[in-house]
Amino acid sequence: MKLEGIKKVAVVGAGIMGHGIAQVCAQAGYRVHVSDLKEGVLMAAVDRIRSNLETLVKYGVTTKNKAESTISRIRVTVDLAEATKDVDFVVEAVPEIMRLKKQVFRDLDKLCPKRIILASNTSSFSITEIGSVTERPEKVIGTHWFRPPHITPLVEIVRGEATSDETLGVTRCFLEKLGKSPIVCRDSPGFVANRMQHVMTNEAIILLQKGIASAEDVDKAVKLGFGFRLPVVGPLEAQDFAGLDTSLRAREYEYRKLGDTKYQPPRLLRKKVEAGELGVKTGKGYYDYAKKDISSLIRKRNEQYLKLLLTLGYIKAQKEVRKT
């Protein structure tokens, strides 16, 4: 199967994620069939899509004519067989219940031609396990979208043990055509983003639970500290700028004082420090900076930080007062 062969998309499940996924596909020019068990859910999905598009028009992300065209490409139905008839790509977006997802994939496997890729929007479940209930595990893949799907750029592509290179390649090209920025990961609980996000959220709850800080201050620590910087530098880039030796010492101290193995420095961090790969200051850390102008990198990073802070309203631009 090739990307050019995808003309019509089916989205199974019209709830929190499904309606947004359908909208993105329709915005990219695809005809979209949306299926759900309840007529009311489908009607609510159409209303949400209209509301989403109105917001995009308001901020100049799309035009009124394009928004109307998007709506015209979407069809809804409670009949799964009708929704999947003559489609070329399927995205499942039903609630995160394994037995439900497996049943949907059994049904899709029977209804859809063998050439069709079946993608699951699961945020944590094993793609290998989901694909095992079908007779086409090589055509089953994970596409983990993030709320709200019509705005958030990231989609995780999760490769099951049986997922073929062709399925992976077509899925990646399809998501890129939708305007998304996909990453690829192996089938592992929580994948990439949620594994990191859930650890942070758990720690935030523990800090609150132990009375170390208030809910407001825990959230402020993220929003005004490392949180606003994350769109500019990811966690590994941030470590390179800070210095991996500094990072290791901090983790060793936390591990000694808190005594919890979750604070134990990872083996890779120790290996990097032992090899003298300390980040930007040595020209290599998690990334290679040998051929990069460090001063330019830092200046660009700081400019992006300032733009974000100004946009978010955390700081205000000062106007020059002219004396007359």
Options 120, 126, 156, 237, the catalytic residue: 156
Options 123, 126, 164, 247, the catalytic residue: 123
Strand order across the beta sheet in which 89-92 lies = 74-77, 31-35, 8-12, 89-92, 117-120, 140-145, 154-159, 181-186
The yes-or-no answer on residue 194 being catalytic is yes
Options 69, 124, 132, 194, the catalytic residue: 194
The yes-or-no answer on residue 144 being catalytic is yes
161, burial (CB in 10 Å: exposed 0-12, middle 13-18, buried 19+) = middle
Options 35, 52, 92, 144, the catalytic residue: 144
The vertex-91 CA angle with 66 and 198, nearest 5°, equals: 105
What are the C-alpha distances in Å from 50 to residues 59, 156, 244? 15, 26, 48
The yes-or-no answer on residue 19 being catalytic is no
Please spell the DSSP secondary structure of 105-163, one letter per residue. HHHHHHHS-TT-EEEE--SSS-HHHHHTTSS-GGGEEEEEE-SSTTT--EEEEEE-TT-
The yes-or-no answer on residue 33 being catalytic is no
Q: Tell me the catalytic residues.
A: 123, 144, 156, 194
